[in-house]
Amino acid sequence: MRGLQGARVVVTGGAGFVGSWLCERLLTEGAAVWCVDDFSTGSPEKVAHLADHPGFTLVEADVSAEIPVSERVDAVLHLACPASPVHYLRMPLETLRVASAGTVNALELAATSGARFVLASTSEVYGDPLEHPQRESYWGHVNPVGPRSVYDEGKRFAEATTMAYHRARGVDVGIARIFNSYGPRMSLDDGRVVPAFLHQALRGEPLTVAGDGTQTRSLCWVEDTVDGLVRLTRAGGVTGPVNIGNDDETTVLELASTVVELTGSRSRIEHIPLPEDDPRVRRPDLSLARDLLGWTPTMPVEEGLKRTAEWMEAVLAG
């Protein structure tokens, strides 16, 4: 696909955090969008501002069972899946089902329509990596039976299924490995480091840093993430996987200090035990994204955190 003007696009998980921003971007590009979500972790509120757009259709459905879109479509962007540890540890079986049966259903829709299929995979397929930074050629270091495996291995299975449909059925596919997106519309109970720290700082609670805080994360502003997904959607024939993230790496302890400073909070930092299989380092090699998609993140982390803090402060005050 070279352009999205007039394209008919299905976004599974479209009422989630990244999905809602993606639906919004696709509409501004001139696409008609079917947002399919069962609201298990997403919410109609995240896309309420799109409800009156003539090109937007909200479909409540569990994509693990079916995707009730009968129209022929040009692209299927598969984002449906609990993405934070809080959610996928609460719903381990549902997470595995959407990564397996949900991915098959999304691929079947793409195959039937002759559509471009894009899988929103994750940096978690690298596990606790032994290679740093992480290149797409790295196969990962994942505990297949640990509590996080329902997400890590689920996404690895989804990638394998995507490539099987490409090889066996000729589906035009692309795989994006997304790294630590953040920004407005994240769920306050998300549990990931940015919303957790901001929520704690704005409420004057201790910022809970896991372990000694030397583990690293690479934070990518949500609109930058969405731009990468849109570029991959347009790039027919590019299968990937392609890392979509920010290669500006920070330690969790540094992030906590930055959040305290940005919010003017008096919160102190409190250390808690590390979760099982928590990755020690995380930073994408973005060479492929730059070469194949002409993509690179543009939002400075401090500015993105400031905007996210302002949004969260308004939500908490509301």
Rounded-to-integer distance, Cα 149 and Cα 194, Å: 22
Nearest one of 156, 136, 117 to 243, comparing CA atoms = 136
Name the pairing type of β-strands 75-78 and 8-12.
Answer: parallel
Identify the active-site residue in 88, 126, 138, 151: 151
Instruction: Let me know: does 156 contact 166? Beta carbons within 8 Å.
Output: no
Chain centroid to Cα 3, Å, comes to: 23
User: Residue 123, SS3?
Assistant: helix
Q: Is 151 a catalytic residue?
A: yes
Within the chain, strands assigned E span 8-12, 32-37, 56-60, 75-78, 116-122, 173-178, 181-182, 207-210, 216-218, 220-221, 242-244, 249-251, 269-272
Single-letter amino acid code for the residue at 240: G
Going from the C-alpha of 276 to that of each of 32, 55, 65, 103, 184, the distances in angstroms are 42, 44, 31, 27, 28
Neighbours of 257 (CB within 10 A): 17
Q: CB–CB of 92/74 below 8 Å?
A: no
Closest of 11, 98, 102 to residue 59, by C-alpha: 11
Alpha helices by DSSP H, 193-239: 193-202, 222-234
Token reading at 35 = 């947002």
Catalytic residues, which ones? 151
